[in-house]
Amino acid sequence: MCNLITPSEDILKKRKDELSETDFKLEHLTSDQKQLLLETLLDRSAAFSKSLKTIGCTDRVIPTFNFRSHNPIKTLPFEIPHAIQGTIKEELNELIEAGLIHRNISQWSSPMVLVKKKQNPTNPHKPASYRIGPTVVKYYFGKFYASFAKNSYFDKRNFKTSILHDH
């Protein structure tokens, strides 16, 4: 695990370099308000990440889950349409290289679920990631679902080592 509460200098530099004024939608503010807020946001560029390679991770907070059963439920993988297999492999390799996911042979693992975006169904995008196993998490599931429902894409991955990332 990495424990990067304070990212390394190279990650901080990459975050600062990739961030620009156009990344923030501030049209509703007056020009003075916009300038003040932009200065503040750009001064704190370490808090923003636009690419997988600068997300970072931490082991300071490790989630715990109460399952109804401690017995894993095995699920078979879903068939992925041939038209998007290449794109999925590229995206998964990018996530693996960034250290956000790893290959998993856990009894709790379950297949990836990819949901197509309406505006461009042939070009799937990186999903917001989470894996909670195939069993239903007690009464917390409703809260998780509500927070993830706004995402256009999501898939399941090992929750302890995954970073939640909203696109």
User: Residue 117 belongs to a domain with what CATH number?
Assistant: 3.10.10
Asked if pLDDT for residue 157 goes beyond 70, the answer is no
Instruction: State pLDDT tens for residues 17-57.
Output: 888 888 888 888 888 988 898 888 888 877 777 777 777 66
- The percent of residues in the chain predicted with pLDDT above 90, rounded, is 0
- The verdict on 41 and 69 lying in the same domain is no
Residue 164: predicted pLDDT: 44
- The verdict on 103 and 38 lying in the same domain is no
Average pLDDT over residues 103-107: 75
Token pair recorded at residue 100: 């956000």
Domain end, chosen from 35, 54, 73, is at 54
Instruction: State pLDDT tens for residues 119-134.
Output: 655 555 544 433 444 3
> Which residues, listed in sequence order, are joined to residue 128 by a DSSP beta bridge?
154
Q: How far apart are CA 54 and CA 101, in angstroms?
A: 14
Who wins on pLDDT, 67 or 16? 16
- The verdict on 26 and 76 lying in the same domain is no
Task: Tell me if 161 is assigned to some domain.
Answer: yes
DSSP state of 21: G
Provide the mean pLDDT of the chain. 68
Residue 86: predicted pLDDT: 87
Q: Is 110 exposed, middle or buried, given 0-12, 13-18 or 19+ CB atoms closer than 10 A?
A: buried
- The verdict on 75 and 34 lying in the same domain is no
Task: Tell me if 59 is assigned to some domain.
Answer: no
**How many domains does the chain divide into?**
2
On whether the CB atoms of residues 32 and 71 are closer than 8 A, the answer is no
Q: Is the pTM of this model over 0.85?
A: no
Asked if pLDDT for residue 64 goes beyond 50, the answer is yes
Residue 17: predicted pLDDT: 85
